[in-house]
Structure 1
Amino acid sequence: MIVKEAEWLKKVNANIVLSDAPFLPCAAAASAGIPSAIVSNFTFDAVYSGLCEGDELDITIRRLAEQVKDDYKKSELLIRLPGYIPIPSYSGTQLYPDSNVTKQILNGCVTSNGSSDRISRRRNVIDVPLVVRKFKTPRNVVLSNLGISKEIFDSHKVLLVSFGGQNLVGIEEWGSPLPDDWIAIVCGNPGAVLPDRFYACAKDAYIPDLTNAADVVMGKLGYGTCSECIGHGKPFIYVPRPQFIEEYGLRSLMETQGLCVEMSKEHFETGQWKEYILKAYNMRGVCQNTDKKLTHDGGKVVAKLVEQFLDERLGTNKRIRRSNRLVYDNGTVSQPSLY
């Protein structure tokens, strides 16, 4: 796979690979003789470390996690997004406000290979503001396009269920999980049979438009959902996934930059939603602590950083010859699918 990807990178004359955040592209870039950068709040070696449970499978997990870390170590730059956890392949990034999280990672399957001094740019680690997608379409247009009448969306508040593909098995047995004057939009499952006051959206719906149209969002702690809730000032109800260690950083991000309520898996799966929805709605607003509030221009900042990094990496004499071609790991390049 690495050989195939390296050949493709050479064929398209790529100058740099940005990874968010699979590990093979870093190894492929090194094989092709070009730099790579990680643009993420986590890497999968840390995630895999959270799967260790003290049994014989830990031996395999440790071996694979170390292999993954070796691939990440072939990258030359870490552009670290808010909501981060320790990145094992970059020494000096092990500090995190929750010492228990750091301990889980460092004492789990992946170990630190450097000092715990604070990071600096000379370590090729740069923290950036929030990278967030913003809405494009006005709320009334978005809701009307979903077949929701103006009479309904003017008189009801909106819950966005943003898990993506949840089939909501047993929903017909829940009674009504929504407060009386609420409706819900369900993402990722347009063919599902939904009860009254639930609406399905297209599978390829632009989620920031739906987030902006909602009064409360319910979902899992993922960077996209968290950043878009913060960017649009929407309260967020999350259902935790205990073994996905990225959640620790994102929960901290939501607590300091946004508004969030935790719902137990049991209550989510049995439709006991009402009290959480109302609690979240009554918290609505944005982070008021201006001393700690992040700006939301991370996309522009990252773009400038990548250009500056590549110019310095190639050298002044090569700047004119640079093609400015970037290979992103965001689905915009159809082949191969790693990027």
Structure 2
Amino acid sequence: MSQPAHLFVDISAHGFGHLAQVAPVLAVLTARLPELRLTIRSGLPRERLQARVATAFTHLRASSDFGYVMHDAVSLDLAATAQAYRRQHADWEVLVDRDARLFRELQPDLVFSDVAYLPLAGATQAGIPSAAMCSLNWAELFAHFFAKEEWAETIHRQMLDAYNSAECFLRVTPGMAMADLPRLRPIGPIAALGEDCRRALRAQLGCSSDERLVLIAFGGFEKQLPIDAWPPIPGVHWLVPQTWQVEHPSVTAFEPLGHSIADLLRAADAVLSKPGYGTFAEAACNHTPLLYLRRDDWPEQDFLIDWLQEHGRCRQVSEDELLAGRLQVALESLWSQAAPPTPQPSGAEEAAAALLPWLTKVTES
């Protein structure tokens, strides 16, 4: 009697973009393999995972990476990040052994990571195949920020060795160059396509047909803006995170509305965000214009911005404009742009096709 395949998925909790990349791939895999067992390890809350992953899964609440320590959504704390990497890699062999023991116990058919490198090293030690996927990798970012530090060489080598131990690294479009990963396999964009709830959403909000909805979403990192002090922009209604606790006739918290982020993004007339994979790809694929605030020295952002300038409608705003709420000119400029052809999110199907060979081998009990 054959047993269902078992996929162990490690999803970074550094923002929500990693989950936004993985969830559509899991949807394709579980549609093709309805009996697929999923174990998801992530520091994200279970309810956040369930909002994107529709099928049943076992959740291990833990983080095997931290990415970068952030002051806020667009500012890095490099000193704290350096300390965190040095602390983690001081116990590197112990951590790899721990993951290897976990995988020997769980016996998954494949370990799939976006984009922690530790589980890849642990899977290799346990003799279990692994694959990685992302638009970035921590080794390339680490080299960008810390390559000149005398303590960095060993850590960088351990990172690269872990990534290169995987069967493949699926680089999502748009993505960084990743020249140090010889098993790189480029795939197309990954994005959830929202349902068109524009009419229902406007009815909920009591908006007129010509009122514009602008969604503010900074992808899992706090970046509260003084929106209640902004000058009013006629005909614009803002959708903001509930944690901001803003009471204003032109502002509504979006979570209580009961729509998914993808649905809200598709229904919005614009989104305001930072450069991050999930929001950029989903804005383009849902045909939604985007205003963005650049991040402080984040190498991935230029790949994202260049791609969105070609495949979507976007415009940069400054920190001063954002804090003062001087956004009317930027929004009008954004809405006046000609819309290019909407890109198709082919990456989830391509990623699933790459992973299926390890999940369709029949295991006899």
TM-score by length of 2: 0.66
The answer to whether the Cα contact below 8 Å between 1:233 and 1:284 also exists between their aligned partners in 2 is no
Which residue matches 1:210? 264
Match of 1:128 among 187, 197, 203: 187
Matches within 5 A, 1:292-311: 294-308=343-357, 310=358
Counterpart for residue 320 of structure 1: 362
The gaps in structure 2 that reach 5 residues or longer are: 1-94
Match of 2:224 among 160, 168, 173: 168
The code of the aligned residue for 1:162 comes to: A
Deviation at 1:295, TM superposition (A): 3.1
Report the AA paired with residue 103 of structure 2: L
Distance 2:234 2:271 in 1: 17
Q: Which runs of 4+ in 1 moved over 6 A?
A: none
Map 1:131-280 → 2, pairs under 5 A: 131-136=190-195, 138-144=197-203, 147-149=204-206, 152-163=207-218, 164=220, 166=222, 168-176=224-232, 179-187=233-241, 189-190=242-243, 192-202=245-255, 206-280=260-334
Query: CA RMSD for the aligned pairs?
Result: 2.7
CA separation in 1, counterparts of 2:98 and 2:122?
8
Q: Are 1:5 and 2:99 counterparts?
A: yes
CA distance in 2, matches of 1:18, 1:322: 23
2: distance between equivalents of 1:16 and 1:39?
Answer: 13
Provide the aligned length of Structure 1 versus Structure 2. Answer: 269
Q: Which residue of 1 aligns with 2:169?
A: 78
Give structure 1 stretches of 5+ with no counterpart. Answer: 92-123, 312-317, 324-339
Relative to its length, the structure with more strand (as a share) is: 2
Rounded Cα–Cα distance in structure 1 between residues aligned with 2:361 and 2:150: 47
Aligned in 2, Cα 1:205/1:10: closer, same or farther, shift over 3 Å?
farther
Is the alpha carbon distance of 1:259 and 1:322 closer, same or farther for their aligned partners in structure 2, counting shifts above 3 Å? Answer: farther
Measured in 1, the distance between the counterparts of 2:364 and 2:193 equals: 30
**AA of the residue aligned to 2:210:** S
CA distance in 1, matches of 2:147, 2:117: 23
Deviation per CA, 1:41-72, whole angstroms, max 9, x where unpaired?
11012222333497xxx334555333322321
Q: 1:64 to 1:196 in 2, by over 3 A?
A: farther
SS at match of 2:133: strand
In structure 2, the partner of 1:65 is 156
Match of 1:95 in 2: none
* Contact 1:83/1:251 (8 A) holds in 2: no
Give the corresponding residue for 1:33.
127
- Structure 1 vs Structure 2: percent identity of aligned residues? 20
Residues 167 and 81 from structure 1, CA distance in 2 versus in 1: closer, same or farther, beyond 3 angstroms? closer
Shift of 1:277: 1.2
1:243 to 1:66, Cα distance in 2 relative to 1, 3 A: farther
